[in-house]
Chains A and B, each alone.
Chain A
Amino acid sequence: MIKSWSERIGFFLLTLAGILVLFILSLILLDIFSKGIKTISLEFLTQPPREGMTKGGIFPAILGTFVVSLITVIFAVPLGMFAAIYLHEYARPGKMTRFIRLSIRNLSGVPSIVYGLFGVALFVQMLKFGTSILSAGLTLGLLTLPWTITACEEALKTVPQSYREGAFALGATKWYAIRTNVLPYAVPGMLTGVILGLSRAAGETAPILFTGAAFFLPHLPKSLFDQFMALPYHLYILATQHQAIEKVRPIAYGTALVLLGLIFLLNLSAVWIRYRYRQRMRG
């Protein structure tokens, strides 16, 4: 079949756009990987920074990011999940529900620095958690909440209505039907969304900037009310605020690579869960 000219031009432009995007992305990844890989060593992953962060490792930042993410998950996942169940299964469609849903969509577009400032006002000052792991984790939790709710609602949407009606027809109450015949099939999809949201939160700097992340700590945090070091913030300091920027550049690249690796791992696990879930739904 002979393709028309407009078809050919269209195909060419779309292919070009695809290649261009791929090219830019691989350039960034390649740059970080090639410059970061030299820094990565067992010492780098397990030791604290030394000599004004020009030597040593980034273990406290890895630990900090991990613990804060944990707080984020503990706070945002159950809350987001229950909110999604309410919105999708219980709330009557109407103006109010539409308004709530619209607000959630809008919140997911709010710049992260705004969440950071809100976190300072609410958690640090009003609730007196201070600048701490807890404040930062809760702030990141707020940030991921809209994503979590939306992802969980989408997951609930994929469960066929016939599972609900089938259970009702057998005399199941609404909550029983949801618990035994909807949630089990929605949870993997929910987890996928939650992990993707978390991987975004783990890389955020602005929300933790004022709520708990520290420039440098000589010790590991001892409680949830301690300050902490975190990968994205550490990277930000090394790349822009350090007095010997050229000297710490390799460490900055190493930190970037670790952060990327962490997020890559999170996304990979999301893909894996989705894959497993598809297998299961196929029966």
Chain B
Amino acid sequence: MSEALVQSTTWYQNLTAEEERAWFEKQIQQCDKEITRFACHIAGNMEKAKDLVQEAFLRAYKYRHSYNEKYPFRNWLYAILLNIHRHNCKKEKFYKTFIPWKTSDDEEQDAWDFIESDDEGPEVKTLKKQLVVDIEKSIQNLPLKMREVIVLCDVLGYSYDEASEVVSCPLGTIRSRLHRARRQVKKDLEKIYGEDLLTSWR
């Protein structure tokens, strides 16, 4: 019993309020770029992504004492962000039924506006940039549950275990969602570029 008590010390136990705050700021600074990228892929445009990230920081600070340091801070933040986004999507769906709602603003920047290409020759650069833009568009067209998984696993390189922690669903579900998401993205790209693209791409 005493061993269990010793092992369950929390990250904030021996910290003052100022130290807690400094710890939190440091954690946020370490992952703010990554979380912005993640939010852009999930939300599909910059304005929504910024709002999501701000809301996620706020909620993370409010519930900071519930953070379990056994898991990476970044994963916990991603989970919070996903929950906020899911809630926003449900609210938007509800309002769309009863209130005329502008789905996208021409002035809002889409996620693919931030794609930069590698330093290669101009023709190759344009082709690869366009390809990456098409991949991003295809990801944005996926249903939210599939999008979450493909962004975590393929874009950010998470393992299935890590993705299942963030998304809070079993490994089998992650596996099937990822499989369906990849199949859909592959189909979309083959429609635009033909079947040879994926066979011969390097």
A and B interact: no
* A interface residue numbers (CB < 8 A to B): none
* B interface residue numbers (CB < 8 A to A): none
